[in-house]
Amino acid sequence: MIGRLWPYFVGTVALGLDAYVIAGMLPKIASDLGSSSGTVGLGVAAFTAAYAISGPVLAGVAGRRAARSLLLALSLFVASNIISALATTVAVFIASRLLAGAASGVYSPLSSAVAAHSVSADRRGRALSLILAGLACGTVFGVPLGLMVADWASWRWTFGLIVGVGLCAMLGIGLLGRGRIANVETPSAGARFATLGKGSNVVTMLVTLCTGIASLGLYTYFIPLLDGLGLSSARVWLIWVWRIGGAIGALFVGRVVDAAQRSTVVTAMITALLLLSFLMLAWNPSVIVEVMSILCWGMLGWASLAPQQHTLMADNPHDGTTAVAANASANYLGSAIGSMAGAALVDQGLVGESLACVAALPVIVAFLLQLVRIRMST
């Protein structure tokens, strides 16, 4: 399976690195471009907005000629990152981030759909988790590497690193050839809108949204959380605990999904355990419990995506790509909402246990919604 899917994995590694590394380089980029970090940060917003829009609108159509569409999306992604690396004005930089987000929004759900159609139904969970593990690895391991490159050389070379990984993915897809890349059924525009409005799909996406608000939103304020918990001296290695947990969760949840054969139940279990992790953080009984809670938080947060994608692919056999794309957009939107809400809470002095308690609230909503989703499928 890996022999057929590794190019898609490498592509999502590049996407994960590109999406999250810029936040750590904002001061350097702003200084070079003669702007402020806030203005350069609009590039992150442009990437996220373009990703959220392009996926549901274009990914479903792109499946008709999957091999060509994947290569086109990666070509635009690579070209936009070259422009980012060479940008001399903030306007050009933001425009390049917009293009990169649009390309990512098509590539990410399409690669997941193609991977799912490339294996038998009993291995679909593992295929989806492998692709999503690429996104996790790009974020968990690629971002620290990208920031080190920025410190050692320049932020422009970090974009060069992204370009290199993207080119490797393009080479891999080219070597596979069209004959080994499954096309995905392309419904009409009306059918795609119907997919987006289908009740069970909406509930699934709301669960993803709430989980993203809690898990990714809280991670944005990982340092204030640790400081409030009295763990400031262990910041660096606890961040790695969360990252390693995320990589493990994203990579191995597929086996659980395939074995369980009911991805909706797997999602309910994940949200329940994620809620428990946040409550243990808020309780703060001992350092060992806190470390284990952080590990489980990373593991469960990243593991939550694959069963959701599996559910949407199974429930939408004729338009899984559009559903998966909209779900990915919900995850990004949840991250953005969580980050904004977290900023307001931290400004009000909520750190440590209080921050973990507030983060538990959207997880409760996610769990209750998932119970509704299970009822809808029975």
Mean pLDDT, each 10-residue run in order, the chain (378 residues): 79 91 86 87 84 81 78 96 96 96 91 84 86 86 89 95 96 80 70 86 96 87 84 85 90 89 93 96 89 95 93 86 88 84 81 89 97 90
Copy the structure tokens of residue 68.
């060509």
- Asked if residues 106 and 63 have their Cβ atoms less than 8 Å apart, the reply is no
Q: Are residues 181 and 197 in the same domain?
A: no
Reported as half-sphere exposure (CB side, CA atoms, 13 A), residue 302 has a value of 31
Q: Are residues 157 and 250 in the same domain?
A: no
At 167-210, the pLDDT tens digits run 999 999 988 876 667 667 667 777 778 888 899 999 999 999 99
Q: Are residues 170 and 256 in the same domain?
A: no
Q: Are residues 144 and 222 in the same domain?
A: no
Q: Are residues 173 and 203 in the same domain?
A: no
Distance CA 82, CA 94 (A): 13
Q: Are residues 162 and 223 in the same domain?
A: no
Ramachandran bin of 110, using left for φ above 0, alpha for ψ from -120 to 50, beta for the remaining angles: alpha
For residue 240, what are the domain limits? Answer: 193-376
Q: Are residues 132 and 248 in the same domain?
A: no
- Asked if residues 189 and 58 have their Cβ atoms less than 8 Å apart, the reply is no
Q: Are residues 244 and 160 in the same domain?
A: no
**Residue 186 has what pLDDT?**
67
- Asked if residues 4 and 176 have their Cβ atoms less than 8 Å apart, the reply is yes
Domain ends where: 164, 186, 208? 186
DSSP 23: G
Q: Are residues 121 and 102 in the same domain?
A: yes
Q: Are residues 99 and 172 in the same domain?
A: yes
Distance CA 41, CA 44 (A): 5
**Residue 274 has what pLDDT?**
97
Rg (CA), the chain: 20
CATH classification of the domain holding 11: 1.20.1250.20
Residues 6+ apart with CB under 8 A from 259: none
- What's the longest Cα–Cα distance across the chain? 58
**Residue 136 has what pLDDT?**
85
Virtual torsion, Cα 124, 126, 132, 134, nearest 10 deg:
-130
What is the tally of structural domains in the chain? 2
Q: Identify which of 15, 16, 20 has the alpha carbon closest to the alpha carbon of residue 219.
A: 20
- Asked if residues 33 and 18 have their Cβ atoms less than 8 Å apart, the reply is no
Q: Are residues 242 and 320 in the same domain?
A: yes
Q: Are residues 182 and 200 in the same domain?
A: no
Residues 6+ apart with CB under 8 A from 131: 5, 8, 9, 12, 111, 112, 115
Domain ends where: 151, 186, 221? 186
**Residue 63 has what pLDDT?**
66
- Asked if residues 6 and 131 have their Cβ atoms less than 8 Å apart, the reply is no
Global confidence as pTM: 0.85
Domain ends where: 186, 217, 250? 186
**Residue 10 has what pLDDT?**
93
Segments in the chain forming alpha helices (H): 2-21, 26-33, 37-40, 42-62, 66-86, 90-117, 124-137, 143-152, 155-176, 189-197, 199-220, 222-228, 235-260, 263-283, 287-303, 305-315, 320-347, 352-376
- Asked if residues 51 and 101 have their Cβ atoms less than 8 Å apart, the reply is yes
**Residue 276 has what pLDDT?**
96
Distance CA 20, CA 208 (A): 19
Reported as half-sphere exposure (CB side, CA atoms, 13 A), residue 365 has a value of 15
Segments in 22-89 forming alpha helices (H): 26-33, 37-40, 42-62, 66-86
Number of H helices, E strands in the chain: 18, 0
Distance CA 132, CA 111 (A): 10
